[in-house]
Structure 1
Amino acid sequence: MNNFYTLIYLNREIKEKIQNGIFSFGISPHKDVLHIYIESDKETSRLIFSANARETALFLDRYRPPKKRNVIDFFPSLEGARVVDTSLADKDRLLSIIFEGGRSLLFKLFSGRPNVFLVEGDRIVDAFKNPEDLKGTSPPEPMAPVFKEEVSAGRNAKNQMTEINPLLPRNLLPYIIEEHEVEQMSPGKVKTFTRELSRSLLEEPHPRVLETGDFCLWSQKWLSLPSEKECETVNDCVAFAYKNAVHLRRLHSKKEDIVQFLERVEGKKKEMVRQLSQAEKSLNRADEYEKFGHLLMAHAHEQLTPGTEQITVEDFYENNDEITIPLKEQADIAGNAERYYEKAKDARKAYEEAKKRLPGEEKELLHVQSLLEEVREIDRLWDLDSWLKNNSESLNKLGFGSSDDKQLSSPYRKFKLGKYEVWIGKNAKSNDKLTSLAHKEDIWLHARGVGGSHTVIRMGNRKDYPPKRVLLQAAAYAAYYSKARGMKSVPVMYTKCKYVRKPKGGAPGAVVLEREEVEMVPPMNPNNQ
């Protein structure tokens, strides 16, 4: 979202708004989001920075009064300081707001760990993320990429273009390459085309947000993808793209929980309908049990040898063919006949109950499938909230947010990895409870050979394993919450929860694994991701 060319224009637009303004305060109303309020004679500006690695962004937003409660203050030593300038590093995504006295806020807008550093001299004195680890260290230095003069023949078009200009927004290059057939160009033509494309970013900016959600500075002349929004300033389009991305993430997270729940209910309903639809088998069994009873009663006068498990008699219903009937060892022939009459009665009762239940279950299945179809079509968060409100009664009856689904509101540490939820225990008793609540198809992880937290990847009853990147990241979390946290690489074992059991009389947190696999991972604090 904030590539280098975007920052060129943002730096100018932000500077115009906040230069000579006074740092009022900085707060974090949400995780990974910093709001900085800067007052000038004309207005109060609100500068928003997102340190979320998937949604890194910096932009000015319209003024909104700050929250009064449950917020954390940042950079209090800057309060009352005047902004004297802003500066963008040469060919790198490092933007500074410079205050009187030489102090500056340095915004790092790249890598998996974006951050804001308060810099004084050549040292970091405070930071938005992980301040205690960073105080006293050197701030990141600009690292301008290498620009080549010539294109390497034989490489694909994207690599050739980024050799000439490594600062091009790479997320948009596949569209550019396809539209302009760059793959068919000679190396010399690629070089000329890339330089013209780069020049347009500096001299002919056309800020817009594409329908794909991507921010773009190229006009339709260069990239004919349709726009969702066109803006007069780069800042306005960055703000729109960021809010749109946050909206989609929240929508996806909330929607995914509902879809997974309804899919589980749909699976159970389908299985119930399948079983009830086979009720005729109960009726057939009832006829067979009753026949066994009649045949046994015809031999009720006979004595059984103790331990007899079956008897062979003539079946007068089928031309006196021989038939073998299983027996209950503890009963005589008459007692076994009575048992088969009872089984026939129960089977007929099950058939009648199935006939009564089947229409209702089929109706409920259709209703669940209708809910699934509706929720899958929703593409706006406020529409999803409205849908939840309108269908709250139906969802409550199905058990959403209660009964089996209560696991989803567990009090343990919980983190999201895409659509997967990760649970991490807090202590030995918590580990026991966590593992006992997990579904048999969930993935269980633990640092090998050392004490630590039980970690579970929720699989939503899916029988496969999650993508390898999800497994490795959850393993890194398990390594972090173990006594091996200080190691560079930690062996973490993992398996399905169905292969994890607690030994009889075992201490809190103790388990036995029937099978396991191991991955070597570096410890990773999920709170920093």
Structure 2
Amino acid sequence: MNNFYTLIYLNREIKEKIEDAFFSFAISPHKDVLHLYIDDGNETSRLIFSANPRETALFLDFYRPPKKSNVIDFFESLEGEKIIDIKLADKDRLISIYFENGQYLLFKLFSGNPNVFLVENDVIADAFKNPDEVTGEAPPRPEAPTFLEEVSPRRSAKNQMTEVNPLLPRNLLPYLIKEHDVDEMSPEKVKEFTNKATQALLDDPHPRVLKTGDFCLWSKEWLDIPSEKECEEVNDCVAFAYKNAVHLRRLHENKEDILQFLERSKSQKESLITQLQQAEKSLKRAEEYEKYGHLLMAHAHEQVTEGTTEITIDDFYENNEQITIPLKEDKSIAENAEYYYEKSKDAKKSYQNARRRLPKVKKELEQVKELLDEIEEIDHLPDLNSWVKDNKQKLEDFGFGSGDDKQATSPFRKFKEGKFEIWIGKSAKSNDQLTSHAHKEDIWLHARGVGGSHVVIRMGNRKDYPPQHVLLKAASYAAYFSKARGMKSAPVMYTKVKYVRKPKGAAPGAVVIERDEQVEMVPPMKPENI
């Protein structure tokens, strides 16, 4: 959503609508979200900025009355000030809104720490996030990337394209490369293709949100992926993509908790049913224990020496064939008979209890399966909220919401990215556990050249690699949980777990990559729910 070419058009559209208007006030109705209200005398606009690293965005939205209770006002010195210009930095994702009083708001739309800075006299006077840490410092400066004239022949098609133009939307390049067979092109052809693709972004934009959820400016002739929404203005598609991403994240977070609970409940009930269906064994044991009791009572008058652990006697139930019965060495024969009568009684109770519980547990299992089928079909947050409300009592009856539904503490952090689970080590020992627990086809990642956590993408026996957005998200986590956390961008290496080996006698967490090492440059990113 915050690709440089997107910002070119977004900057123009925002400028056209709010230049010469006045800043009213700014509030934060939600975590990491800032709403700036702009008044041109005829109507009030709402400029929305998301500082969430997963959903960084800037766009104009329709007016909505502000939530004024329990919110903090931001940038109060700008209230009533006239907007005189809006500018996008040269070849960098920095947008500035200039005011008549000489101050300006600088929107940083990249890295793992997006932010808005209020700048006065070329020094940060305030900030949306962490103002105490940045006040008095110089504001971020544009850092134009390097455009190479020569393409490295041995690099991948994606890396070759980003050498020619590092500003291209990297999340879309794998699709573009696959559709146009770029990986089959010579370096010269890759350069020519990249320049044409760049020119299409500049001369022939087609704002749309793909079915994948990605924002795209290329037409269907360039990228033939079905559209979820097509727009006349970039701003409208950015707003749609952002709201859709937020909706899907909230849906996933709320839905995943319930899904995991129901899956555990289903597994537990299936296991219990298996146990209860074996109740016939309890009845057979009850009959056997009762028989032992009768046989021992028939010999109750006999004496046994201290420490005797078994007795062999005639079994009058089986034509007086001999039978050996285990004894409690501290009990007499009569007391052992009573012991077996009690065990028979307990086994019969166990059988009766199983017979009584089995229909109830089977019914509960069917209810859990029905709930699972229903929730898996839900694709909209309001529908999920309504479903939870309608099934609140059932969920509570099964234990959802109680301490019993929490997973045991894991030796490593676990996060979900779509259908993929990402594991992150907590310590050197945890790193060893993580790698040893992973499947050979899982993807292993680690920040290159610095200490840090091992990260694994669980592949569920799939032998391919995960989608690029999943790989980049896991790589950004690996960068964050390493000594490269403070860098703007960090190299992260990755390969299959089967190519990662721990040398004999190596220190905890130390491994060697034997083959197929690849590297991605990513901004360190903190997982959302930490």
TM-score normalized with structure 2 length: 0.78
Q: State how 1:62-77 maps to structure 2 within 5 Å.
A: 62-77=62-77
The 2-side partners of 1:64 and 1:356 are apart by: 58
Name 1:260's counterpart in structure 2. 260
DSSP 3-state at the match of 1:13: helix
Name 2:177's counterpart in structure 1. 177
**More moved, 308-317 vs 329-338:** 308-317
Residue 52 (structure 1) aligned with residue 31 (structure 2) = no
Could you tell me whether the CA contact under 8 Å between 1:39 and 1:45 is conserved in 2? Answer: yes
DSSP 3-state at the match of 1:224: coil
Name 1:371's counterpart in structure 2. 371
The 1-side partners of 2:263 and 2:238 are apart by: 36
Could you tell me whether the CA contact under 8 Å between 1:296 and 1:337 is conserved in 2? Answer: yes
The C-alpha deviation readout for 1:175-196, integer Å capped at 9, x for no partner, is 1111111112222221111111
Name 1:280's counterpart in structure 2. 280
The 1-side partners of 2:89 and 2:329 are apart by: 89
Could you tell me whether the CA contact under 8 Å between 1:446 and 1:475 is conserved in 2? Answer: no
Name 2:360's counterpart in structure 1. 360
**More moved, 162-171 vs 186-195:** 186-195
Shift of 1:233: 0.5
Name 1:124's counterpart in structure 2. 124
Q: For structure 1, which runs of at least 5 residues remain unmatched after alignment?
A: 409-415, 421-441, 449-458, 480-515
Q: Paired residue for 1:418, among 415, 418, 439?
A: 415
Name 1:399's counterpart in structure 2. 399
DSSP 3-state at the match of 1:112: coil
The 2-side partners of 1:390 and 1:284 are apart by: 45
Say what the alpha-carbon RMSD is for the aligned residues: 3.4
Name 1:111's counterpart in structure 2. 111
DSSP 3-state at the match of 1:305: coil
Shift of 1:101: 2.8
Q: Which amino acid aligns with 2:415?
A: G
Name 2:34's counterpart in structure 1. 34
The 2-side partners of 1:146 and 1:13 are apart by: 28
Give identity over the alignment, percent. 66
Q: For structure 2, which runs of at least 5 residues remain unmatched after alignment?
A: 408-412, 418-422, 445-453, 458-473, 483-506, 511-523
Name 1:165's counterpart in structure 2. 165
The 1-side partners of 2:339 and 2:131 are apart by: 76
Distance 1:368 1:174, change over 3 A: same
Shift of 1:298: 2.0
Distance 1:344 1:328, change over 3 A: same
Could you tell me whether the CA contact under 8 Å between 1:273 and 1:362 is conserved in 2? Answer: yes
Shift of 1:123: 1.1
Could you tell me whether the CA contact under 8 Å between 1:447 and 1:478 is conserved in 2? Answer: no
Shift of 1:290: 1.3
The C-alpha deviation readout for 1:24-52, integer Å capped at 9, x for no partner, is 11111111111111111221111111110
| Structure 1 residue runs of 4 or more that deviate by more than 6 Å after TM superposition | 442-448, 463-467, 470-479, 516-519, 523-529
**More moved, 98-107 vs 467-476:** 467-476
The 2-side partners of 1:169 and 1:444 are apart by: 30
Shift of 1:287: 1.6
Residue 205 (structure 1) aligned with residue 205 (structure 2) = yes
Shift of 1:404: 2.1
Residue 245 (structure 1) aligned with residue 245 (structure 2) = yes
Name 1:346's counterpart in structure 2. 346
The 1-side partners of 2:481 and 2:308 are apart by: 57
The 2-side partners of 1:474 and 1:342 are apart by: 59
DSSP 3-state at the match of 1:194: helix
Could you tell me whether the CA contact under 8 Å between 1:48 and 1:58 is conserved in 2? Answer: yes
Residue 134 (structure 1) aligned with residue 134 (structure 2) = yes
Shift of 1:399: 1.7
Distance 1:400 1:360, change over 3 A: same
Shift of 1:331: 2.8
Could you tell me whether the CA contact under 8 Å between 1:230 and 1:237 is conserved in 2? Answer: yes
Distance 1:233 1:126, change over 3 A: same
Q: State how 1:500-519 maps to structure 2 within 5 Å.
A: none
Distance 1:403 1:237, change over 3 A: same
Q: Which amino acid aligns with 2:342?
A: E
Name 1:223's counterpart in structure 2. 223
Q: Which amino acid aligns with 1:347?
A: A
The 1-side partners of 2:45 and 2:284 are apart by: 79
Distance 1:369 1:57, change over 3 A: same
Shift of 1:57: 0.5
Shift of 1:303: 1.5
Distance 1:284 1:301, change over 3 A: same
Shift of 1:315: 3.3
Q: Which amino acid aligns with 1:166?
A: P
Aligned length: 450
DSSP 3-state at the match of 1:64: coil
Could you tell me whether the CA contact under 8 Å between 1:446 and 1:478 is conserved in 2? Answer: no
Name 1:456's counterpart in structure 2. none
The 2-side partners of 1:470 and 1:464 are apart by: 7
The C-alpha deviation readout for 1:206-229, integer Å capped at 9, x for no partner, is 000000000000111101100000
Shift of 1:247: 0.3
